[in-house]
């Protein structure tokens, strides 16, 4: 049984060592394709792989066609919009993610960016505090829950809306559940986005929603750049001098926003919500364990297709 780690952006060495321990401990073989520059290298490497661990790497129909022995792909991380789920299903390949393994890392970055934002990007001027401010968490999944936990420590009033998570689950955490995305934006000066990028959510964070936010509006996006309507984002910056946007995922219009609104727009140079050694190790090892458990016991717990 051959498990391939195919990572354009490699795991930390300690994470690869952990994956190796799990894979070889189960009597399987581990192969490594890191920092590949051509798709052809990936197509070649997957030929005899029975299982693949990926990060943001693209698994499309062409890769699945080339991977004749493939049974399972595990995305070490939460979002799996880089995998063509329909094509995987058509090829009889199981796709899993490793939910929850990087949530604390992302949540800590959210609060870090928020402090940076309300303190005027540490430019030496007087800012505001987070205590007592209303924080709206859009999507109460693994990351959203961790944001709520930490935000409560800051003394924020925490609200959330999730299309699929029941209100009583949210309220058990001392978080006020609202009835819609629109209600959340209207109620909260600060919004943190944690929705996945789906057909339903892409472009859904638009001007109308953002413009309904109270004065001093801040949107933090550690979800996906696709969920933002970028024309609406530009309009918000142009029309609302009080508006700030903080993200670890640069929008396509990053250069324009950075040049025109440097005092209110911040995006990290690279996506970095999950870039901690802890998240790296946790997600990689979880991926390896899920593969072993699937191949040996047929466990489909984290299947997403």
Ligand X SMILES: NC(=O)c1ccc[n+]([C@@H]2O[C@H](COP(=O)([O-])OP(=O)(O)OC[C@H]3O[C@@H](n4cnc5c(N)ncnc54)[C@H](O)[C@@H]3O)[C@@H](O)[C@H]2O)c1
Give the binding site for ligand X (CB under 6 A). Answer: 77-79, 99, 102-103, 106, 139-144, 162-165, 194-197, 200-201, 222-224, 248-249, 271, 273-274
Kindly state the smallest distance separating residue 71's Cβ from ligand X, in Å: 23
The residue nearest ligand X at its CB is 141
Q: Residue 30 or residue 94: which is nearer to ligand X going by CB? A: 94
Closer residue to ligand X (CB): 67 or 223: 223
Shortest distance (Å) from residue 1 CB to ligand X: 28
Closest approach, Cβ 260 to ligand X, in A, equals 24
**What is the nearest approach in angstroms of ligand X to the Cβ of residue 293?**
20
CA diameter of the chain:
61
CB crowding 184-215: b at 16 or more within 10 Å, else e: bbebbbbbbbbbbbeeebbebbbbebbeebee
- Contacts with 255 (C-beta within 8 Å, 6 or more apart), sequence order: none
How far apart are the C-alpha atoms of 80 and 75, rounded to whole Å?
Answer: 6
- Cβ nearer to ligand X, comparing 146 with 288: 146
Shorter beta-carbon distance to ligand X: residue 226 or 289: 226
Helix-, strand-, coil-residue percentages of the chain, each rounded to 5: 40, 20, 40
> Which CB atom, from 66 or from 272, has the smaller least distance to ligand X?
272
Q: Least distance to ligand X from the beta carbon of 43, Å?
A: 26
> Helices in 154-221 by DSSP H: which ranges?
167-171, 181-187, 207-211
């Amino acid at each position: 049984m051959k498990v391939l780690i195919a990572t354009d952006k490699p795991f930390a060495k300690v994470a690869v060592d952990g994956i190796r321990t799990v894979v070889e401990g189960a009597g399987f073989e581990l192969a490594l394709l890191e920092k590949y520059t051509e798709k052809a290298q990936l197509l070649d490497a997957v030929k005899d792989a029975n299982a693949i661990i990926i990060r943001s790497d693209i698994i499309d129909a062409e890769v699945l066609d080339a991977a004749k022995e493939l049974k399972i792909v595990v995305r070490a991380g939460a979002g799996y919009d880089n995998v063509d789920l329909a094509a995987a299903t058509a090829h009889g390949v199981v796709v899993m993610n490793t939910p929850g393994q990087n949530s604390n890392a992302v949540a800590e970055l959210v609060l870090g960016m928020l402090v940076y934002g309300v303190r005027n990007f540490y430019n030496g001027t007087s800012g505001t505090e987070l205590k007592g401010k209303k924080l709206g968490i859009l999507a109460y999944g693994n990351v959203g829950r961790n944001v709520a936990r930490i935000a409560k420590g800051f003394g924020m009033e925490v609200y959330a809306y999730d299309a699929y998570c029941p209100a009583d689950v949210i309220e058990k955490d001392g978080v006020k559940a609202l009835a819609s995305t629109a209600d959340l934006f209207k109620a909260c000066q600060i919004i943190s986005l944690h929705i996945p990028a789906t057909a339903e959510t892409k472009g859904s964070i638009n001007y109308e929603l953002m413009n309904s936010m109270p004065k001093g509006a801040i949107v933090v996006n550690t979800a996906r750049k696709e969920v933002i309507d970028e024309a609406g984002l530009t309009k918000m910056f142009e029309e609302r001098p009080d508006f700030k946007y903080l993200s670890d995922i640069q929008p396509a219009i990053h250069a324009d926003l950075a040049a025109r609104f440097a005092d209110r727009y911040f995006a990290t140079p690279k996506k970095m919500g999950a870039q901690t050694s802890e998240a790296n190790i946790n997600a990689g090892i979880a991926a390896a364990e899920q593969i072993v458990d699937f191949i040996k016991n047929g466990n489909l717990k984290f299947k997403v297709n």
